[in-house]
Amino acid sequence: MGLNYAKRMDNIKASEIRELLKLTEKPEVISFAGGLPAPELFPVEEMKKISVEVLDEQGTKALQYGPTEGYKPLREQITKRMAKVGVDAKVENILVISGSQQGLDFSGKIFVNPGDVVLCESPSYLGAINAFKAYEPKFIEVPTDEHGMVMEDLEEILKNNDNVKFVYVIPDFQNPSGRTWSEERRKRIVELANQYNIAIIEDNPYGELRYEGEFLPAIKHYDTEGRVIFLGTFSKIFCPGLRLGWVCAEEGVLNKYILAKQGSDLQASTISQMQVARFMEDYDIEAHIEKLRSVYKKRKDLMINTMKEEFPAEVKFTNPEGGLFTWVILPEHINARELAVKALEKNVAFVPGGSFFPNGGNENTFRLNYSNMSEEKIVEGIKRLGKAIKDMM
Ligand code: PMP
């Protein structure tokens, strides 16, 4: 049956990661593919207790509709998370959403007419590219180096394109590259956004997961005209299954996101918001994040050190200061999609890098996640992957 779908659906394909994740559910597969947190660190017992308490004490409220903006005690807790990344926000600046992914979709909905230009890092987060695609933009990829997006290139592009709506960036431990922006570039992008009248979508799920190096404030910290829209999430510092994230923006801008939220699903789950707020009030979230940092740092170092031993010298990779991913660049003639097939034969999975470039190319790259597998599996998986690479050299 050939139903008559909207043209926008032509642009949307199944996410390669989602497809891969289906395969990696097999227990024998060592998966570096998804961006999954370590499940053994989820506070299951605490959440069990909290769920009962919330229902005992505020049961009818927990099961009722709530305000679109979100549950106020949770929004208060979120202002504390914003302070941790150097942003002085009030409750009125916070909208609770269903994961930061929803904020990406809303950004497309709010800003993009078909044919408008969206700027992003090259490479950029696949989930954002797919969310924006529904609104039929033209993507221009801005070159990046080890200090983030190259500001001279950004300026040149802004000079030559007058229908840029926003620039989408992940300044801390970027997904997929693992790279972090310098302070200088964080300041400069705000100056350029002011000069060229565009918005900055700052997507920051990993900012609090720094394992080494010096703390740097979010880009939003340098915002002088209310142009930076910050997307945050509990997925990586807490649990992704609750599907809770937030938008932090100036009130006028936030109002647009509140309207989008109303049209989409009215509000985030009341009971989930109450549970998370209570965890933040009654338990030590800082200690929880500290624990994540120490476990992930160990796994990251182990993956990097094993790659140094097991990968051929021609293969390059990033050594991130935080976050969940390292980015691998193979010699030009090796195709990472072909390597992925060979690796899966050895029960090892990763995401080929090509799909992180909205305009294609770069097929000799791939992304590895180190947060989800045990240390033993990291070593074994990297050994197998090293062997698969050598077979293709
Ligand atoms: N942005 C980036 C850069 C991500 O890596 C992710 C998750 N992988 C998200 C947004 C979406 O996260 P969530 O919806 O769980 O908050």
pLDDT at 16 exceeding the cut of 70: no
With a 6 A CB cut-off, is 203 part of the ligand 1 pocket? yes
DSSP-derived letter for residue 260 is H
272 lines ligand 1 (CB under 6 A): no
Is residue 22 pLDDT above 80, yes or no?
Answer: no
pLDDT at res. 11: 79
d(CA 74, CA 263) in angstroms, rounded, equals 22
Confidence of residue 185 (pLDDT cuts 50, 70, 90): very high
Residue 175 beta carbon below 6 angstroms from any ligand 1 atom: yes
**Is the pLDDT reported for residue 108 higher than 80?**
yes
Taking the centre of ligand 1 as the mean of its atom positions, its distance from the CA of residue 172, in whole angstroms, is: 13
The predicted-structure confidence for 127-142, as pLDDT tens digits, reads as follows: 999 999 999 999 999 9
Q: Which of 78, 95, 101 to mutate to test the pocket of ligand 1 (most atoms within 8 A of CB)?
A: 101
Q: pTM score, two decimals?
A: 0.96
Q: Which atom of ligand 1 is nearest to the CA of 233?
A: 16
pLDDT value for 49: 98
| Residue whose CA is at the smallest distance from ligand 1 atom 11 | 101
Cα of 314 to ligand 1 centre, how many Å?
A: 31
- For residue 244, the CA-to-ligand 1 centroid distance in Å is 11
Q: Is 127 in the pocket of ligand 1 (CB under 6 A)?
A: yes
Q: Could you tell me if the CB of 207 is within 6 A of ligand 1?
A: no
**318-340 pLDDT tens trace:** 999 999 999 999 999 999 999 99
What letter does residue 313 receive in the DSSP assignment? Answer: T
- Model-level ipTM above the cut of 0.85: yes
Residue 170 has a pLDDT of 98
Residue 323 Cβ inside 6 Å of ligand 1? The answer reads: no
- Check residue 26 and give its pLDDT: 84
> Is the pLDDT score of 257 beyond 80?
yes
Residue 258 has pLDDT above 70, yes or no: yes
The confidence band for 305, taking pLDDT boundaries of 50, 70 and 90, is very high
Percent of the chain with pLDDT over 90: 93
What is the average pLDDT value for the chain, to the nearest integer? 96
DSSP single-letter state for residue 210: B
Residue 59 — pLDDT band, cuts 50, 70, 90?
Answer: very high
CATH code for the structural domain at 7-42+287-392: 3.90.1150.10
Judge whether residue 15 has pLDDT over 90. Answer: no
Whether residue 235 has its Cβ less than 6 Å from ligand 1: yes
Average of pLDDT values for 297-301?
98
In this structure, whether the domain defined by 46-282 belongs to CATH 3.40.640.10 is answered with: yes
Residue spans of the domains in the chain: they are 7-42+287-392, 46-282
pLDDT beyond 90 at 287: yes
pLDDT band of 13, cuts 50, 70, 90: confident
Q: What is the pLDDT of residue 383?
A: 98
Q: In the structure encoding, which two tokens stand for residue 143, read together?
A: 């070159």
pLDDT at 9: 86
> How far apart (Å, rounded) are the C-alpha atoms in residues 317 and 336?
14
Question: What's residue 18's pLDDT?
Answer: 67
**Mean pLDDT, rounded, for 11-35:** 80
Pocket test for ligand 1, best of 20, 100, 124 (most atoms within 8 A of CB): 100
170 lines ligand 1 (CB under 6 A): yes
pLDDT at 23: 74
CA of 10 to the centre of ligand 1 (A): 24
Single-letter residue type at 56: D
> E-strand spans in the chain?
30-31, 94-97, 117-122, 138-145, 148-149, 164-169, 199-203, 228-233, 245-248, 316-317, 325-329, 348-349, 351-352, 365-369
User: Looking at the predicted structure, is the pLDDT value of residue 17 above 70?
Assistant: no
Q: What are residue 334's DSSP bridge partners?
A: none
Ligand 1 atom with least separation from CA of 103: 14
Contact in structure between 209 and 292 (CB atoms under 8 Å):
yes
Domains 7-42+287-392 and 46-282 share a fold: no
